[in-house]
Amino acid sequence: MSIPAVRRPDGGRDRRGSHRVAILVYDGVTLLDVAGPAEVFKEANRFGADYRIVLLSPTGADVTSSLGIRMAVDGAVSPGHAIDTLLVAGSDHYPRAHVPADLADAARIPAAVAGRVASICTGAFVLAAAGILDGKRATTHWRVAHELAVRCPTCRVEPDAIYVRDGTTYTSAGVTAGIDLALALVEEDHGPDLTRDVARVLVVYMQRAGGQSQFSAPLQGPPPRSPALRRITDLVTADPRGDHSLAELAKHLNVSTRHLTRLFHDELSTTPARYVEKIRFDLARALLDQGHTATQAATLAGFPSYESMRRVFAHKLSITPAAYQRRFSTARRAREPGGPHR
């Protein structure tokens, strides 16, 4: 199966006023990274925009996506291309392997002439290999954000962002966040009214609430090296509802509160209070996923009140427990009378 290329009868030149969007594709590219943003620009054309979308590959050869679907391209990357926006799609390959030089060059060449450059999901690794992210703020999928920071030590990686703009460089989070980014680019070009129409047609949020943390799995760090500190973390994990004030935790080990605070700082880079809060937060998320009401989750997770849990959700995810549950409770549970609420 192949996706036909749109061939330009004028040899690739766009009439004055049009906006040329080039999407860099290559073997193993994630299909939705290409199709999602392209669909946004195509829908924007229905409301008066004039985006011309071309697919470019490093050599001009057609490529095969990660799903095995063949994609026909419009041509090879060339410094002579007139490009207003360059989008670099992602792939599962390059968080695991280093980006080959020819692919990095294929991003670097058009980026030099493009008005703005953007990556979708792990396309940020291609931009990083091309040196385009040096000294800039950036994001990518939450699972590989740490790896991006290792590959690009001069970048300031923001793992919770849906997308990040730094000057004329844009990076976005996992897969569907490419749609969020494309909507932001359309709004930048044509304003909120046209963009709102596009979002409605596509049945997506014009700007989704919260960051990537709402989609990420709870972080499971290594256990503490110190047997004494491990006793405390095991105690908190086994009974999140218990009295885990600093004084009570220190009493369990018969140490000073200052010494316990130092243990947490040295081994876990946090404080006892934040550790307790994290355990309760992770449990509350799991309880909401299972269909408990927000009030039940707050009680079972050990929060003093629903309001205290709500504040933690707002701080960590930028959304309320109710909004989190609406996004992630099961479809069956959501349809039941008296399902998740609050």
| End-to-end CA gap in the chain | 47
Q: What three-state secondary structure class fits 217?
A: coil
Contact 158, 127 (CB under 8 A): no
Q: Catalytic site residue 121? A: yes
CA–CA gap between residue 31 and residue 38 (Å, rounded): 11
Q: Where are the alpha helices (DSSP H) in the chain?
A: 31-46, 93-96, 101-111, 123-129, 145-151, 177-190, 192-202, 227-238, 246-253, 257-268, 272-289, 294-301, 306-317, 321-328, 331-335
Q: What are 289's two structure tokens?
A: 């996923």
Catalytic residue among 25, 121, 287, 319: 121
Task: Pick the closest to residue 163 from 186, 136, 182, 147 (CA basis).
Answer: 182
Name the CA dihedral angle for 132, 136, 142, 147, rounded to a multiple of 10 degrees.
Answer: 70
- Return the SS3 of 164: strand
Q: How many residues does the chain have?
A: 342
Task: List active site positions.
Answer: 121
